[in-house]
Amino acid sequence: MLMARPIQALIDLSALEHNLSVVCRHAPRSRVMAVIKADAYGHGVLRVAEALGRADGFALLEMDAAVRLREAGYRQTILLLEGFFAMEELASIEQYHLSTVVHHPEQLAMLSAYRQRGRLDVFLKLNTGMNRLGFTLEQFPGALETLKSNPAVGQITLMSHFARADESDRHESVAAQMQRFNAAAGGRNLPCSLANSAAILRYPETHADWVRPGIMLYGASPFSDRTAAELDLYPAMTVSSKIIAVQELKSGDGVGYGHVFRADRSMRVGIVAGGYADGYPRHAAAGTAVLVNGKRTRVIGRVSMDMLHVDLSEISDAGVGSQVTLWGRGLPVEEVAQSAGTVGYELLCALAPRMRIVT
Ligand SMILES: Cc1ncc(COP(=O)(O)O)c(C=O)c1O
């Protein structure tokens, strides 16, 4: 049998299901559009779709993944979050009965020029302050009329996206976006969708007809001031590996490239099979938390392509073959991300293609 390098990402399907139930608990009157872009935040789009089969819809932006979902037999709404980029895609959108965001006048023009057989469901995106995608409030009535008079367009849903729902002290920003959205959408009698994970958890008044959870489904907190555990979310991905060598350092010895860590006493250092070519962040600061045999210790020295170093001073039972958790169960990805100057989203999505995924 081939021995595999010990690093792996374990995807916990029951955690995904649990986290979906947390979404439903918070937004019991809304339909749930599970956001599974970027290969389901690194967890694997088909694997996640199966675990989240109860969701009312899936949102992503990669056409190939959307088609794979349909071909796998999912009958729910499948929404393309950036819409389409060329006329030619409209035929596939129709063929696979995908729903598309329309956020830009050029997309409206392409839709108007499309000679369809059936009807396409459209999510018309309003820019209420995020200033990323969407029609301005001034453009919105015209865009809506254009869609309504287009025979190629079926169901129209109105949507927007929050810029600051994750920040604890930015209620006024969310309120201002809501107010602009309501001013535009009010009286139109169309389904609406605004809420990402942060808004689902913090702002019930934003839930509307469809919520769009991403990060919370994967068991990470969207907030810097509340942990996933406090929100009753379970981590869906645990990246683990093993110690493959142990070094006994004397005071003054350096470790790894640049010798950026130097021992100030005799100490044991474990070498872990896991580096930036696996998706572990090279910018993880000295002292980033890691678990060895379930006990917390710290990353030391510079993370290299395939390995990193951990302090074993306080873990006397650790040696070659000891189990290491880089993030996941027992060690929130948000915490590791923060030490690397980033967010959990980025670490989850940046899992390298060579990572072995197990369920
Ligand atoms: C339009 C849109 N809706 C929903 C989400 C889900 O956001 P989150 O992962 O913060 O829940 C995203 C993700 O960035 C998004 O772009």
Q: State pLDDT tens for residues 229-240.
A: 999 999 999 999
Residue 273 to residue 277: CA distance in whole angstroms: 11
Cα 125 to ligand 1 centroid, rounded to whole Å: 13
Q: Would you state the structure tokens that stand for residue 352, as one six-digit string? A: 């390298």
Kindly tell me the burial class for residue 173, based on how many C-beta atoms sit within 10 Å of its own C-beta (0-12, 13-18, 19 or more). middle
Residues 190 and 279 in one domain: no
Q: How many domains does the chain have?
A: 2
pLDDT score, position 2: 62
Average pLDDT, the chain: 97
Residue 312 to residue 298: CA distance in whole angstroms: 9
Q: Which domain, by its residues, includes 269?
A: 237-358
Residues 140 and 271 in one domain: no
Cα 79 to ligand 1 centroid, rounded to whole Å: 12
Residues 110 and 49 in one domain: yes
Q: State pLDDT tens for residues 81-114.
A: 999 999 999 999 999 999 999 999 999 999 999 9
Q: State pLDDT tens for residues 336-348.
A: 999 999 999 999 9
Average pLDDT over residues 267-284: 98
Could you identify the atom of ligand 1 that is nearest to the CA of residue 166? 10
Residues 110 and 78 in one domain: yes
Q: State pLDDT tens for residues 113-151.
A: 998 778 999 999 999 999 999 999 999 999 999 999 999
**CB burial string 212-223: b at 16+ within 10 A, e below:** bbbbbbbbbbbb
Residues 75 and 195 in one domain: yes
The residue whose CB lies within 8 Å of the most ligand 1 atoms, and thus the one to mutate among 37, 193, 194, 212, is: 212
Residues 163 and 58 in one domain: yes
CATH number at residue 42: 3.20.20.10
Q: Is residue 239 a contact partner of residue 8, using CB atoms and an 8 Å limit?
A: yes
Name the pTM for this structure: 0.96
Cα 114 to ligand 1 centroid, rounded to whole Å: 29
Residue 348 to residue 279: CA distance in whole angstroms: 8
Average pLDDT over residues 204-216: 98
Note whether residue 8 is domain-resident: no
Note whether residue 248 is domain-resident: yes
Cα 196 to ligand 1 centroid, rounded to whole Å: 5
The answer to whether residue 204 scores a pLDDT higher than 70 is yes
Residues 208 and 241 in one domain: no
pLDDT score, position 115: 87
Q: Could you tell me if residue 245 is left (phi over 0), alpha (psi between -120 and 50 degrees) or otherwise beta? A: beta
Note whether residue 4 is domain-resident: no
Could you identify the atom of ligand 1 that is nearest to the CA of residue 212? 4
Q: State pLDDT tens for residues 290-308.
A: 999 999 999 999 999 999 9
Could you identify the atom of ligand 1 that is nearest to the CA of residue 133? 1
What DSSP designation does 83 have?
A: -
Closest to 81 in 3D by CA, of 105, 58, 52, 56: 58
- Whether 37 is catalytic is yes
Residue nearest to atom 6 of ligand 1 (CA): 214
Note whether residue 150 is domain-resident: yes
| Active-site entry in 37, 41, 74, 345 | 37
- The β-bridge partners of 328 are 331
What DSSP designation does 267 have?
A: E
CATH number at residue 256: 2.40.37.10
Residues 94 and 190 in one domain: yes
Using 50, 70 and 90 to split pLDDT, how confident is the model at 3?
low
Note whether residue 54 is domain-resident: yes
Amino acid residing at 301:
G
Share of the chain above pLDDT 70, in %: 99
Average pLDDT over residues 328-334: 98
pLDDT score, position 127: 98
Residues 140 and 35 in one domain: yes
Last residue within a domain, chosen from 165, 183, 218 = 218
Note whether residue 5 is domain-resident: no
Residues 67 and 188 in one domain: yes
Share of the chain above pLDDT 90, in %: 97
Residues 252 and 212 in one domain: no
Cα 151 to ligand 1 centroid, rounded to whole Å: 30
Average pLDDT over residues 203-213: 98
Note whether residue 187 is domain-resident: yes
Could you identify the atom of ligand 1 that is nearest to the CA of residue 213? 11
The residue whose CB lies within 8 Å of the most ligand 1 atoms, and thus the one to mutate among 20, 32, 35, 100, is: 35
Pocket of ligand 1 (CB under 6 A): 35, 81, 161, 196-198, 212-216, 222
**CB burial string 279-312: b at 16+ within 10 A, e below:** bbbeebeeebbbbbeeeebbbbbbbbebbbbbbb
Average pLDDT over residues 31-50: 98
Residues 255 and 166 in one domain: no
